[in-house]
Structure 1
Amino acid sequence: MQVKINAKDLASGIFLLLVALIGIYLNQDHNLGTARRMGPGYMPLMVFYIQGGLAALVIFFSLFSGPDPLEKWTGLDAGALVLGIAVGTLGWKFSPLLWSFFGQTYNAVGFGITVGFLAMAISSGWKLLAIISASVALFGLILEKGGFFAALTAVILVSCAAEHTHTKKGVAGLLVFLLVLCWWVFIYELDIRVNLWPQS
Protein backbone atom coordinates (compact mmCIF):
# COMPACT_ATOMS: atom_id res chain seq x y z
CA MET A 1 0.00 0.00 0.00
CA GLN A 2 1.23 3.41 -0.93
CA VAL A 3 0.85 6.20 1.59
CA LYS A 4 -1.38 8.95 0.18
CA ILE A 5 -2.38 11.20 3.03
CA ASN A 6 -5.86 12.66 3.22
CA ALA A 7 -5.02 15.73 5.32
CA LYS A 8 -8.67 16.56 6.08
CA ASP A 9 -9.38 13.12 7.52
CA LEU A 10 -6.05 13.09 9.34
CA ALA A 11 -6.76 16.45 11.00
CA SER A 12 -10.29 15.32 11.91
CA GLY A 13 -9.00 12.06 13.39
CA ILE A 14 -6.36 13.83 15.46
CA PHE A 15 -8.97 16.31 16.74
CA LEU A 16 -11.38 13.49 17.68
CA LEU A 17 -8.58 11.59 19.41
CA LEU A 18 -7.55 14.68 21.41
CA VAL A 19 -11.17 15.27 22.51
CA ALA A 20 -11.47 11.61 23.55
CA LEU A 21 -8.23 11.73 25.55
CA ILE A 22 -9.24 14.97 27.27
CA GLY A 23 -12.66 13.48 28.03
CA ILE A 24 -11.12 10.33 29.53
CA TYR A 25 -8.80 12.46 31.65
CA LEU A 26 -11.60 14.76 32.90
CA ASN A 27 -13.84 11.76 33.63
CA GLN A 28 -11.40 10.25 36.16
CA ASP A 29 -13.12 11.85 39.14
CA HIS A 30 -16.53 10.35 38.38
CA ASN A 31 -17.73 7.09 39.89
CA LEU A 32 -17.87 4.43 37.17
CA GLY A 33 -20.05 1.83 38.89
CA THR A 34 -20.70 -1.37 36.94
CA ALA A 35 -22.47 -2.26 33.72
CA ARG A 36 -25.55 -3.23 35.76
CA ARG A 37 -25.49 -0.17 38.06
CA MET A 38 -23.83 2.57 36.06
CA GLY A 39 -22.32 5.51 37.87
CA PRO A 40 -22.23 9.03 36.42
CA GLY A 41 -18.86 8.38 34.78
CA TYR A 42 -19.62 5.04 33.12
CA MET A 43 -21.43 6.14 29.97
CA PRO A 44 -19.18 9.14 29.21
CA LEU A 45 -16.11 6.90 29.60
CA MET A 46 -17.55 4.35 27.17
CA VAL A 47 -18.39 7.12 24.69
CA PHE A 48 -14.86 8.54 24.91
CA TYR A 49 -13.30 5.09 24.41
CA ILE A 50 -15.51 4.46 21.38
CA GLN A 51 -14.68 7.93 20.05
CA GLY A 52 -10.97 7.25 20.56
CA GLY A 53 -11.25 3.94 18.68
CA LEU A 54 -13.12 5.56 15.81
CA ALA A 55 -10.55 8.38 15.74
CA ALA A 56 -7.75 5.81 15.44
CA LEU A 57 -9.57 4.21 12.50
CA VAL A 58 -10.05 7.60 10.82
CA ILE A 59 -6.35 8.36 11.28
CA PHE A 60 -5.32 4.96 9.89
CA PHE A 61 -7.53 5.16 6.81
CA SER A 62 -6.53 8.80 6.20
CA LEU A 63 -3.02 7.56 5.43
CA PHE A 64 -4.24 5.70 2.34
CA SER A 65 -7.25 7.67 1.05
CA GLY A 66 -5.57 10.82 -0.23
CA PRO A 67 -4.31 13.05 -1.46
CA ASP A 68 -6.80 15.56 -0.17
CA PRO A 69 -5.02 18.64 1.21
CA LEU A 70 -6.49 21.03 3.73
CA GLU A 71 -8.05 24.13 2.25
CA LYS A 72 -6.23 27.38 2.86
CA TRP A 73 -7.80 29.67 5.43
CA THR A 74 -8.99 33.05 4.30
CA GLY A 75 -8.40 36.16 6.36
CA LEU A 76 -12.05 36.02 7.42
CA ASP A 77 -11.65 32.41 8.63
CA ALA A 78 -8.65 33.32 10.78
CA GLY A 79 -10.33 36.51 12.01
CA ALA A 80 -13.52 34.62 12.89
CA LEU A 81 -11.51 32.13 14.95
CA VAL A 82 -9.79 34.93 16.87
CA LEU A 83 -13.13 36.75 17.28
CA GLY A 84 -14.82 33.59 18.53
CA ILE A 85 -12.11 32.99 21.13
CA ALA A 86 -12.24 36.63 22.27
CA VAL A 87 -16.05 36.80 22.43
CA GLY A 88 -16.24 33.41 24.16
CA THR A 89 -13.67 34.41 26.77
CA LEU A 90 -15.41 37.73 27.44
CA GLY A 91 -18.79 35.97 27.62
CA TRP A 92 -17.41 33.48 30.10
CA LYS A 93 -15.79 36.09 32.33
CA PHE A 94 -18.56 38.72 32.29
CA SER A 95 -21.73 36.59 32.08
CA PRO A 96 -22.05 36.24 35.90
CA LEU A 97 -22.48 40.04 35.98
CA LEU A 98 -25.49 39.74 33.63
CA TRP A 99 -27.40 37.05 35.53
CA SER A 100 -26.68 35.14 38.72
CA PHE A 101 -27.52 31.88 36.90
CA PHE A 102 -24.19 32.17 35.07
CA GLY A 103 -22.34 32.27 38.37
CA GLN A 104 -23.42 28.72 39.20
CA THR A 105 -21.38 25.64 38.24
CA TYR A 106 -20.29 25.71 34.59
CA ASN A 107 -23.06 27.93 33.25
CA ALA A 108 -20.68 30.84 32.53
CA VAL A 109 -18.44 28.51 30.53
CA GLY A 110 -21.45 27.25 28.59
CA PHE A 111 -22.51 30.81 27.82
CA GLY A 112 -18.98 31.70 26.71
CA ILE A 113 -18.78 28.65 24.45
CA THR A 114 -22.19 29.41 22.94
CA VAL A 115 -21.51 33.06 22.11
CA GLY A 116 -17.96 32.28 21.00
CA PHE A 117 -19.12 29.72 18.46
CA LEU A 118 -21.92 31.98 17.27
CA ALA A 119 -19.37 34.76 16.70
CA MET A 120 -17.26 32.33 14.63
CA ALA A 121 -20.27 31.69 12.38
CA ILE A 122 -19.64 34.97 10.52
CA SER A 123 -17.18 33.03 8.38
CA SER A 124 -18.69 30.61 5.85
CA GLY A 125 -15.73 28.30 6.48
CA TRP A 126 -16.67 27.97 10.15
CA LYS A 127 -20.44 28.40 9.88
CA LEU A 128 -21.62 24.76 10.00
CA LEU A 129 -19.22 23.64 12.71
CA ALA A 130 -19.71 26.79 14.76
CA ILE A 131 -23.50 26.82 14.76
CA ILE A 132 -23.85 23.11 15.48
CA SER A 133 -21.27 23.33 18.28
CA ALA A 134 -23.08 26.38 19.69
CA SER A 135 -26.35 24.43 19.68
CA VAL A 136 -24.80 21.61 21.74
CA ALA A 137 -23.45 24.13 24.27
CA LEU A 138 -26.85 25.81 24.32
CA PHE A 139 -28.49 22.47 25.15
CA GLY A 140 -26.33 22.11 28.25
CA LEU A 141 -27.01 25.71 29.21
CA ILE A 142 -30.79 25.45 28.93
CA LEU A 143 -31.31 21.94 30.33
CA GLU A 144 -31.13 22.76 34.04
CA LYS A 145 -33.57 25.69 34.16
CA GLY A 146 -35.44 25.33 30.88
CA GLY A 147 -36.05 21.61 31.01
CA PHE A 148 -35.48 18.74 28.60
CA PHE A 149 -38.00 19.76 25.95
CA ALA A 150 -36.86 23.40 25.75
CA ALA A 151 -33.20 22.39 25.58
CA LEU A 152 -33.88 19.79 22.89
CA THR A 153 -36.00 22.25 20.92
CA ALA A 154 -33.21 24.83 21.07
CA VAL A 155 -30.52 22.40 19.89
CA ILE A 156 -32.67 21.23 16.97
CA LEU A 157 -33.73 24.71 15.83
CA VAL A 158 -30.25 26.22 16.11
CA SER A 159 -28.67 23.22 14.35
CA CYS A 160 -31.19 23.50 11.53
CA ALA A 161 -30.26 27.17 11.14
CA ALA A 162 -26.76 26.08 10.13
CA GLU A 163 -28.03 24.99 6.73
CA HIS A 164 -30.33 27.23 4.68
CA THR A 165 -31.87 24.38 2.67
CA HIS A 166 -34.27 23.26 5.43
CA THR A 167 -37.97 23.96 5.01
CA LYS A 168 -40.22 25.03 7.89
CA LYS A 169 -42.32 21.88 7.46
CA GLY A 170 -39.24 19.68 7.48
CA VAL A 171 -37.85 21.32 10.60
CA ALA A 172 -41.24 21.06 12.37
CA GLY A 173 -41.49 17.37 11.48
CA LEU A 174 -37.93 16.71 12.62
CA LEU A 175 -38.58 18.61 15.84
CA VAL A 176 -41.70 16.61 16.72
CA PHE A 177 -40.06 13.30 15.77
CA LEU A 178 -36.89 13.95 17.81
CA LEU A 179 -38.81 15.27 20.83
CA VAL A 180 -40.90 12.10 20.94
CA LEU A 181 -37.93 9.81 20.22
CA CYS A 182 -35.67 11.41 22.84
CA TRP A 183 -38.46 11.40 25.43
CA TRP A 184 -39.12 7.72 24.75
CA VAL A 185 -35.44 6.67 24.81
CA PHE A 186 -34.03 8.83 27.59
CA ILE A 187 -36.99 9.52 29.88
CA TYR A 188 -39.31 6.54 29.44
CA GLU A 189 -36.88 3.69 28.72
CA LEU A 190 -33.66 4.79 30.45
CA ASP A 191 -35.49 6.68 33.23
CA ILE A 192 -33.04 9.57 33.24
CA ARG A 193 -34.07 12.08 35.90
CA VAL A 194 -34.13 15.55 34.35
CA ASN A 195 -36.72 18.30 34.44
CA LEU A 196 -39.01 18.02 31.43
CA TRP A 197 -40.41 21.54 31.69
CA PRO A 198 -38.97 24.91 32.73
CA GLN A 199 -38.28 25.40 36.44
CA SER A 200 -38.75 28.69 38.26
Structure 2
Amino acid sequence: MKDVVSGLFLILLALIGLWLNQDHNLGSARRMGPGYMPMLVFWIQVGLGTAVTLIGLFSGPDPLEKWTGLDMASLALGVAAGFIVWAIATNLGPFFSQTYNGVGLGVLAGMLVVSWSAGWRKIGLICASMAVFALLLEKFGFFAALIGLIIVASMAERTHTVRGVAGMLVFLLVLCWWVFIYELDIRVNLWPQF
Protein backbone atom coordinates (compact mmCIF):
# COMPACT_ATOMS: atom_id res chain seq x y z
CA MET A 1 0.00 0.00 0.00
CA LYS A 2 2.84 2.41 0.78
CA ASP A 3 4.29 1.87 -2.70
CA VAL A 4 0.96 2.79 -4.29
CA VAL A 5 0.59 5.92 -2.16
CA SER A 6 4.24 6.88 -2.76
CA GLY A 7 3.83 6.45 -6.53
CA LEU A 8 0.66 8.52 -6.55
CA PHE A 9 2.40 11.16 -4.44
CA LEU A 10 5.28 11.34 -6.95
CA ILE A 11 2.77 11.73 -9.79
CA LEU A 12 0.89 14.45 -7.89
CA LEU A 13 4.09 16.42 -7.22
CA ALA A 14 5.13 16.09 -10.88
CA LEU A 15 1.74 17.29 -12.11
CA ILE A 16 1.90 20.30 -9.78
CA GLY A 17 5.40 21.01 -11.08
CA LEU A 18 4.22 20.77 -14.70
CA TRP A 19 1.36 23.14 -13.91
CA LEU A 20 3.69 25.64 -12.21
CA ASN A 21 6.19 25.34 -15.09
CA GLN A 22 3.66 26.57 -17.67
CA ASP A 23 4.85 30.17 -17.26
CA HIS A 24 8.34 29.32 -18.54
CA ASN A 25 9.36 29.21 -22.18
CA LEU A 26 10.13 25.62 -23.17
CA GLY A 27 12.05 26.26 -26.38
CA SER A 28 13.20 23.17 -28.25
CA ALA A 29 15.73 20.39 -27.74
CA ARG A 30 18.25 22.38 -29.76
CA ARG A 31 17.62 25.74 -28.02
CA MET A 32 16.31 24.93 -24.56
CA GLY A 33 14.36 27.57 -22.71
CA PRO A 34 14.26 27.93 -18.91
CA GLY A 35 11.29 25.59 -18.64
CA TYR A 36 12.61 22.76 -20.81
CA MET A 37 14.74 20.89 -18.27
CA PRO A 38 12.18 21.11 -15.44
CA MET A 39 9.54 19.84 -17.87
CA LEU A 40 11.72 16.82 -18.72
CA VAL A 41 12.39 16.10 -15.04
CA PHE A 42 8.69 16.31 -14.18
CA TRP A 43 7.76 13.93 -17.00
CA ILE A 44 10.45 11.49 -15.85
CA GLN A 45 8.99 11.79 -12.35
CA VAL A 46 5.51 10.98 -13.74
CA GLY A 47 6.99 7.86 -15.35
CA LEU A 48 8.77 6.90 -12.14
CA GLY A 49 5.61 7.44 -10.08
CA THR A 50 3.61 5.34 -12.54
CA ALA A 51 6.17 2.52 -12.33
CA VAL A 52 6.19 2.62 -8.52
CA THR A 53 2.37 2.62 -8.44
CA LEU A 54 2.06 -0.30 -10.86
CA ILE A 55 4.71 -2.34 -9.04
CA GLY A 56 2.89 -1.62 -5.77
CA LEU A 57 -0.44 -2.70 -7.25
CA PHE A 58 0.84 -5.99 -8.62
CA SER A 59 3.33 -6.98 -5.92
CA GLY A 60 0.63 -7.77 -3.39
CA PRO A 61 0.54 -6.84 0.26
CA ASP A 62 3.71 -6.95 2.27
CA PRO A 63 2.97 -8.68 5.56
CA LEU A 64 5.87 -6.92 7.25
CA GLU A 65 4.62 -3.41 6.49
CA LYS A 66 1.57 -2.11 8.28
CA TRP A 67 0.40 1.43 8.50
CA THR A 68 0.67 2.71 12.03
CA GLY A 69 -1.21 5.65 13.43
CA LEU A 70 2.02 7.65 13.28
CA ASP A 71 2.43 6.84 9.58
CA MET A 72 -1.04 8.11 8.74
CA ALA A 73 -0.86 11.09 11.07
CA SER A 74 2.56 12.24 9.86
CA LEU A 75 1.43 12.02 6.23
CA ALA A 76 -1.72 14.05 6.89
CA LEU A 77 0.12 16.57 9.09
CA GLY A 78 2.94 16.84 6.54
CA VAL A 79 0.56 17.73 3.73
CA ALA A 80 -1.23 20.24 5.95
CA ALA A 81 2.05 21.76 7.19
CA GLY A 82 3.33 22.08 3.64
CA PHE A 83 0.27 23.99 2.47
CA ILE A 84 0.19 26.20 5.57
CA VAL A 85 3.89 27.11 5.31
CA TRP A 86 3.49 27.77 1.56
CA ALA A 87 0.58 30.14 2.28
CA ILE A 88 2.52 31.95 5.02
CA ALA A 89 5.81 32.05 3.08
CA THR A 90 4.53 34.65 0.61
CA ASN A 91 4.42 37.15 3.51
CA LEU A 92 8.00 36.48 4.64
CA GLY A 93 9.64 38.82 2.15
CA PRO A 94 10.53 39.07 -1.51
CA PHE A 95 12.73 35.96 -1.54
CA PHE A 96 9.78 33.71 -0.68
CA SER A 97 7.09 35.63 -2.57
CA GLN A 98 9.01 35.51 -5.87
CA THR A 99 9.46 32.43 -8.07
CA TYR A 100 9.00 29.09 -6.30
CA ASN A 101 10.88 29.72 -3.06
CA GLY A 102 7.63 29.77 -1.06
CA VAL A 103 6.67 26.41 -2.54
CA GLY A 104 10.14 25.08 -1.69
CA LEU A 105 9.76 26.19 1.92
CA GLY A 106 6.36 24.51 2.07
CA VAL A 107 7.76 21.28 0.63
CA LEU A 108 10.65 21.38 3.10
CA ALA A 109 8.33 21.84 6.08
CA GLY A 110 5.90 19.18 4.88
CA MET A 111 8.61 16.61 4.19
CA LEU A 112 10.26 17.20 7.57
CA VAL A 113 6.92 16.56 9.29
CA VAL A 114 6.33 13.45 7.16
CA SER A 115 9.78 12.12 8.06
CA TRP A 116 8.88 11.92 11.77
CA SER A 117 7.38 8.53 10.97
CA ALA A 118 9.92 5.75 10.47
CA GLY A 119 7.87 4.43 7.55
CA TRP A 120 8.12 7.73 5.68
CA ARG A 121 11.56 8.86 6.93
CA LYS A 122 13.57 7.93 3.84
CA ILE A 123 11.32 9.46 1.20
CA GLY A 124 10.56 12.44 3.44
CA LEU A 125 14.21 13.32 4.04
CA ILE A 126 15.20 12.76 0.40
CA CYS A 127 12.41 15.09 -0.78
CA ALA A 128 13.40 17.57 1.96
CA SER A 129 17.01 17.47 0.73
CA MET A 130 15.87 18.48 -2.76
CA ALA A 131 13.92 21.39 -1.27
CA VAL A 132 17.04 22.44 0.70
CA PHE A 133 19.05 22.40 -2.54
CA ALA A 134 16.46 24.55 -4.33
CA LEU A 135 16.23 27.05 -1.47
CA LEU A 136 19.99 27.44 -1.03
CA LEU A 137 21.07 27.55 -4.68
CA GLU A 138 20.17 31.13 -5.57
CA LYS A 139 21.51 32.96 -2.50
CA PHE A 140 24.18 30.61 -1.13
CA GLY A 141 25.56 29.12 -4.33
CA PHE A 142 26.02 25.70 -5.88
CA PHE A 143 28.45 24.28 -3.33
CA ALA A 144 26.39 25.22 -0.24
CA ALA A 145 23.22 23.90 -1.91
CA LEU A 146 24.91 20.62 -2.77
CA ILE A 147 26.33 20.28 0.75
CA GLY A 148 22.86 20.87 2.23
CA LEU A 149 21.32 18.31 -0.12
CA ILE A 150 23.90 15.64 0.70
CA ILE A 151 23.76 16.15 4.48
CA VAL A 152 19.95 16.07 4.68
CA ALA A 153 19.69 13.10 2.29
CA SER A 154 22.32 11.17 4.27
CA MET A 155 20.08 11.39 7.36
CA ALA A 156 17.58 9.13 5.57
CA GLU A 157 19.78 6.13 6.29
CA ARG A 158 20.83 5.79 9.91
CA THR A 159 23.81 3.55 9.12
CA HIS A 160 25.83 6.35 7.48
CA THR A 161 28.95 7.38 9.36
CA VAL A 162 30.35 10.89 9.54
CA ARG A 163 33.47 9.71 7.72
CA GLY A 164 31.41 8.09 4.97
CA VAL A 165 29.24 11.17 4.50
CA ALA A 166 32.33 13.41 4.42
CA GLY A 167 33.94 11.22 1.76
CA MET A 168 30.75 11.17 -0.29
CA LEU A 169 30.48 14.94 0.12
CA VAL A 170 33.97 15.59 -1.26
CA PHE A 171 33.50 13.12 -4.12
CA LEU A 172 30.11 14.54 -5.15
CA LEU A 173 31.26 18.17 -4.89
CA VAL A 174 34.17 17.46 -7.24
CA LEU A 175 32.07 15.31 -9.58
CA CYS A 176 29.20 17.81 -9.80
CA TRP A 177 31.61 20.71 -10.35
CA TRP A 178 33.37 18.79 -13.11
CA VAL A 179 30.18 17.64 -14.87
CA PHE A 180 27.90 20.67 -14.50
CA ILE A 181 30.28 23.62 -14.25
CA TYR A 182 33.39 22.56 -16.17
CA GLU A 183 32.02 20.24 -18.87
CA LEU A 184 28.45 21.50 -19.38
CA ASP A 185 29.35 25.14 -18.60
CA ILE A 186 26.16 25.74 -16.62
CA ARG A 187 26.12 29.33 -15.40
CA VAL A 188 25.28 29.22 -11.71
CA ASN A 189 26.76 30.97 -8.69
CA LEU A 190 29.27 28.74 -6.98
CA TRP A 191 29.58 30.85 -3.83
CA PRO A 192 27.13 32.92 -1.73
CA GLN A 193 25.76 36.07 -3.36
CA PHE A 194 24.38 38.63 -0.92
State yes or no: 1:105 paired with 2:99: yes
Task: Choose which of 70, 74, 78 in structure 2 pairs with 1:80.
Answer: 74
Task: Choose which of 160, 164, 167 in structure 2 pairs with 1:170.
Answer: 164
Measured in 2, the distance between the counterparts of 1:83 and 1:62 equals: 24
Residues 94-147 of structure 1: per-residue CA shift (max 9 Å, x gap): 345555533333222221221221122221112111111111111111111111
* Equivalence for 1:194: 188
Q: Displacement, 1:51? A: 3.8
Measured in 2, the distance between the counterparts of 1:64 and 1:86 equals: 30
Tell me which amino acid in the other structure corresponds to 1:112: G
Measured in 1, the distance between the counterparts of 2:10 and 2:80 equals: 24
Task: Choose which of 114, 118, 121 in structure 1 pairs with 2:115.
Answer: 121
Could you list the runs of 5+ residues in structure 2 that have no partner in the other structure? none
- The structure that has the greater radius of gyration is 1
Measured in 2, the distance between the counterparts of 1:141 and 1:68 equals: 36
Could you list the runs of 5+ residues in structure 1 that have no partner in the other structure? 1-6
* Equivalence for 2:136: 142
Q: Structure 1 residues 93 and 190, CA, compared in 2 at 3 Å: closer, same or farther?
A: same
- Contact preservation (8 Å) 1:8, 1:68: no
1:151 counterpart SS class? helix
Once the two structures are overlaid, the 10-residue window that deviates more, 45-54 or 167-176, is 45-54
Percent identity over paired residues: 63
Q: Structure 1 residues 109 and 55, CA, compared in 2 at 3 Å: closer, same or farther?
A: closer
Question: What is the RMSD of the two structures over their aligned residues, measured on CA atoms?
Answer: 2.8
State yes or no: 1:37 paired with 2:31: yes
Structure 1 length as normaliser, TM-score?
0.80
Structure 2 length as normaliser, TM-score?
0.82
